[in-house]
Amino acid sequence: MESLTIHAIGLVIVVKLLLNPVFCLNKCDFPAIFNLGDSNSDTGGLSAAFGQAPPPNGETFFHIPAGRFSDGRLLIDFISERLGLPYLSPYLDSMGSNFSHGANFATAGSTIRPQNTTISQSGYSPISLDVQFVQYSDFQRRSQIIRKQGFFQNLLPEEDCFSRALYTFDIGQNDLTAGYKLNMSTEQVKAYVPDLLGQFSNVIKYIYARGGRSFWIHDTGPVGCLPYVMDRFLVTAAQIDKYGCASPFNDVARYFNLRLKETVVQLRKELPLSAITHVDVYAVKYYLISHANKLGFEDPFLACCGHGGKYNYNRFNKCGSKKVVNGKEIILAKSCRNPSVRINWDGTHFTEAANKWIFDRIVDGSFSDPPFPLNFACHRTDH
């Protein structure tokens, strides 16, 4: 009887392995990553263009400001680590950059749709997704010309890197809040989501036309759980959900993500050689925020780095802000004592500890469609 039981258990294990779509696949060998996005994945683009993100940004891992709006690593950094690649150099950074294994075109404040405003007026980067694609296209073309001339060969990607690379995207959050800054209603913001995703879709198609095949796309997170949103926009008590997040803003984010998923399905049909992975980052981030204490984190709505206010967030004195006292410059918005138990870094972005927790949930494909782990993202499903 015991041998039969062991045999049955073994048979179940074999069946499960055979049903696992990854079982018969080889791991992907991504030689490079090309990332497009906003501050959730900016490794120094905005800092290179408009001035370095000030200390205490970067303090936990890099120990100095490193172009990231966090105390340490971002999801894109953990993605690079898992694939055995160096951290991505920002395309805009001319100092010490190495593009042999990819480039990062993301900048903090970027949107899918260009904003008719300046960065000083709104905080939105002029380097919207369409501009990032132009930069990518120019980089792809000129890097090969320069390599053939014999210059900087060790600092630029080989030609076949572009077709074998992983293309990562994390953008859309700023497009949603942009409407609210213009006093639009939730329904008005939802109304322009199809246009956003039409423009997003076009960029995927453009990269595909230039040889890109593997795409890893994050949806947008629960913006209604971010301190800067709850501080900036009017939210009534009735609009706060049981976990403390602002429901209208999360409703818009979920609508965006639903339409994004539909867009990905359509892209798979139109781009038959593509491998497109859609990652439900929203679900992971919302679970983290709504179960913070159980997961070993403290108040998820209290910014680690900030100054004053209900959420330790003040948009006029953001993380790293300074003031002069008795002729001496001091940091007004300082870091908290232990960022490792905080989720929110500066009212808008996540701490390294939170980013690591999120990455550990998404890397194995549990929140992906198709449910392939990160290092299998070059494989296609039946379109």
The active-site residue out of 39, 70, 128, 274 is 39
In this structure, is the dihedral angle defined by the CA atoms of residues 191, 197, 200 and 201, taken in order, positive or negative? negative
The active-site residue out of 70, 335, 346, 368 is 346
The active-site residue out of 89, 280, 349, 368 is 349
In this structure, is the dihedral angle defined by the CA atoms of residues 36, 39, 43 and 46, taken in order, positive or negative? positive
**Measuring CA to CA, how many Å separate 217 from each of 145, 195, 220, 297, 377?**
30, 18, 10, 27, 11
* CA–CA separation, 257 and 20 (whole Å): 26
In this structure, is the dihedral angle defined by the CA atoms of residues 248, 253, 256 and 257, taken in order, positive or negative? negative
Answer yes or no: 349 catalytic: yes
Answer yes or no: 346 catalytic: yes
Residue 301 CB partners (closer than 8 Å, separation 6+) = 225, 227, 230, 244, 311, 344
* CA–CA separation, 349 and 270 (whole Å): 34
Residues marked active site are found at 39, 346, 349
